Structure 1
Amino acid sequence: MKRIFMLLSLSALLFHTGCESKKEAKEEETEFLVTSPLQKDTLITKEYVGQVHAISHIEVRALEKGYLQKIFVDEGQLVKKGQLMFQIMPTMYQAELQKAQAEASFAQIEYQNTKKLASSNIVSPNELAMAQAKLNKAKAEVSLARVHLGFTQIRAPFDGIMDHFEVRLGSLVDEGELMTTLSDNSQMWVYFNVPETEYLDYKTTQQSNNIKHVKLVMANQQVFDYPGIVETIEADFNNETGNIAFRATFPNPKGLLRHGSTGNVRMEVPMTNALLIPQKTTFEVLDKKYVYVLDKHNVLHSREITVAAELPHLYVVQKGLAVGDKILLEGLRLVKENEKIHSKFVEPGKVMSQLELYAE
């Protein structure tokens, strides 16, 4: 019996020792890495809603009244400068030109006769001057009639793409009536609005001789092949929105962009003294972002943060953290609120260098 009691005691001792060993091993395994936000100047990518405009986009209007006799182009067609697009019936204007030419011929004959008479002192110099003025007027009428006749042919003022027709073949068009629009899409202007604070950051950090490149995300979420250049900023802020309009120019050699389309402009905006943290230090609850902050007693507390911008693998923190705060770097799913942990601090610079891409 005594032997049995000793065996039971020994077993209990071994079991207790084993539990203590496992407990100690578990405590050794609960050493978590913590770090702090890194404060530095960086560039963040902002997106702004943009409106695409052709640099040359005009209304094509009739310059003379008449029936639309011919249409030489089609909607959506690429036309060349000087190409004939529309023909208004020229019959009446041809007759007006012939009439003006006949009157000019008559005035020319009358002038020649008066000139001969003046050289013989049969008529006064004033009569000769009047004949000369009448001839000049007749010639001007010929030029004017020729211009009116030319206006019956509507030609492309530049290379561009035709829009839909506002009139149809055989329609009676009035002087000044809209017939179509024409767009030169070889280069495009994209207008986008920037808040005042970001405008000030842009102006204070942008060198006057530096070119600012931007990208355009099209409506299908694809990035346009060619970068644009910010060329102008409008003079005034919009009092209602507090924004100011930027204009970027994009080359469009393939004609993919069209007048009136939309997209988002991506522009790198400088941010001074930004607080950067790895994205993996955060977790979400009901669409809000949180981090675990370690207090001086090594106890974890969740804290909500506001993200100002997102970089590859990084967040720029706008509110919720300070430079010296210690945040949990890894093992977020292994801990809970108000839990005391063993921690090992890792310098923020070392953490950032281990990421695939970090802010520069």
Structure 2
Amino acid sequence: MRFVESLTRRPWTIAVGLTAIVVLWLASGALRPTSETVADDAAPAPVAAARVQIRLRHAEPVTRTVKIYGRTAPARTVEMKAETSGRVTTLGVERGKRARAGQVLLKLDLRDRQARLEQARAGVNEHRSAWEAQQELKPQGYVSDTELAATLARLESARAELIRAQLDLEYMQVRAPFDGTVQERAVEVGDYVRAGDPVATFVDNTHLVVTGSIAEQDAGFVRVGELATAALVTGQDVKGRIRYLSPVADEATRTFTVELEIPNPAGDLPAGVTAEMRIPGGEVLAYRVAPSLLTLDANGALGIKTVDEQNRVEFHEISIAHSEANGVWVTGLPESAEIIVVGQGYVSAGQPVTTVEAHPEETALAAGKTMGKKESGTRQ
């Protein structure tokens, strides 16, 4: 009874006692490891090798395709200017309309141009008659050589004035320099123009040029005059020839300018739209694979994973040689390779794996095709 009363008066003794018991229990467990812990440290459980599906593939010859993006533009663009002064009286071709070479696009007021031409012709006739008369009188000694030379000079001056008058009259009509289309018109009927004033923008869209920039590592595949194709953003596919490759790379971008000229006789292909040029780059050995087989390594390089003879994963950095609707042709692998077609996303280079021969339909899907019956096998 006294002991209970003592505990009641001093409750802190209970707390101290319980704390001492807990500390002793924890210490005994730390100093005496259990048999299970010792066993785990001595013999860790083995980790099973990852299981992947592979398929033996062989490289095939394919034409490498260099793809670059550019924009279409007319083959020629001319800023037409007035060559004489005058007031616009007639517009021969409206904006957006096609014109043949030599067709009148606009006319200026002739005013006194015709009168000047007739005056120049009269001057030529007058000086010619004087010169011919003096030639007949010279043998009789009535005309000196100096007088005859002066008359001939006046005749030549009159002829030059006649040519200027003829040209001035011709300049009153602005004509199309080649077959093409009036893109813009800077004047209207009644406007007064002076020599050198712009009157219209005329484009040759009977041919279009796709201009783009090609990387320096691909420039060596391009040959001026070779055939190439382009896919316009409008959905139109066209063919043409390479007409220009810049001899020097751009200092800022390290790329080369390339131009593809394509025929457009009907004028139905638009200028100023985005286009993808596809330039053949020679024959290479490549593999046709589905894009899903492509992976990235730790450095961000694009590649494909294979299995070597020791059943270890290898990563091969690749380049895309050609693209198709259901697959891509890639280079960078050996001539024969066991490509991982299922499970490549769960293994890394150097990792040991257990391989299974892929089913034919898995192989077909990996190559962008479709097949039927299944086959399988295992290699460890």
* Structure 1 residues 158-169: aligned runs within 5 Å: 158-169=178-189
The one-letter code matched in structure 1 to 2:228 is V
Q: 1:253 aligns with which of 265, 269, 289?
A: 265
Structure 1 equivalent of residue 42 of structure 2: none
Structure 1 equivalent of residue 7 of structure 2: none
Change (3 A) 1:123 1:190: same
Structure 2 equivalent of residue 176 of structure 1: 196
Structure 2 equivalent of residue 59 of structure 1: 79
Q: 2:226 aligns with which of 212, 233, 243?
A: 212
1:141 aligns with 2:154: no
Superposed displacement of residue 242, structure 1:
1.2
Superposed displacement of residue 102, structure 1:
3.2
Gaps in structure 2 of 5+ consecutive residues = 1-50, 371-380
* Structure 1 residues 188-203: aligned runs within 5 Å: 188-200=208-220, 202=221
Q: Are the equivalent residues in 1 in contact too, given 2:322–2:330 (CA < 8 A)?
A: no
What is the distance in 2 between the residues matched to 1:167 and 1:137? 36
What is the distance in 1 between the residues matched to 2:367 and 2:89? 73
What is the distance in 2 between the residues matched to 1:234 and 1:332? 42
What is the distance in 2 between the residues matched to 1:246 and 1:171? 41
With a CA cutoff of 8 Å and minimum separation of 6, indicate the structure with the bigger relative contact order.
1
Q: CA RMSD in A?
A: 4.2
Q: Are the equivalent residues in 1 in contact too, given 2:227–2:242 (CA < 8 A)?
A: yes
Structure 2 equivalent of residue 92 of structure 1: 112
Q: 1:227 aligns with which of 239, 242, 266?
A: 239
Identical-pair percentage: 20
Q: 1:68 aligns with which of 83, 88, 106?
A: 88
More deviation, 271-280/56-65: 271-280
Change (3 A) 1:277 1:140: closer
Q: 2:356 aligns with which of 340, 343, 349?
A: 343
Q: 1:47 aligns with which of 46, 64, 67?
A: 67
Superposed displacement of residue 95, structure 1:
3.2
More deviation, 84-93/264-273: 264-273
Superposed displacement of residue 106, structure 1:
3.2
Superposed displacement of residue 117, structure 1:
4.0
1:82 aligns with 2:82: no
1:35 aligns with 2:51: no
TM-score norm. by structure 2 comes to: 0.66
Q: Are the equivalent residues in 1 in contact too, given 2:66–2:218 (CA < 8 A)?
A: no
Q: Are the equivalent residues in 1 in contact too, given 2:84–2:172 (CA < 8 A)?
A: yes
Q: Are the equivalent residues in 2 in contact too, given 1:55–1:189 (CA < 8 A)?
A: yes
What is the distance in 2 between the residues matched to 1:97 and 1:296? 95
Deviations 1:220-263 (A, max 9, x none): 2x133x31122432221112111112222211122123444432
Deviations 1:18-42 (A, max 9, x none): xxxxxxxxxxxxx974125644553
What is the distance in 2 between the residues matched to 1:288 and 1:114? 93
Gaps in structure 1 of 5+ consecutive residues = 1-30
Deviations 1:164-210 (A, max 9, x none): 1011211111112111122222222222221111122x16xx7x9xx
What is the distance in 2 between the residues matched to 1:294 and 1:255? 55
Change (3 A) 1:198 1:116: closer
Change (3 A) 1:136 1:232: same
Local SS of the residue matching 2:184: coil
Structure 1 equivalent of residue 174 of structure 2: 154
Superposed displacement of residue 152, structure 1:
0.9
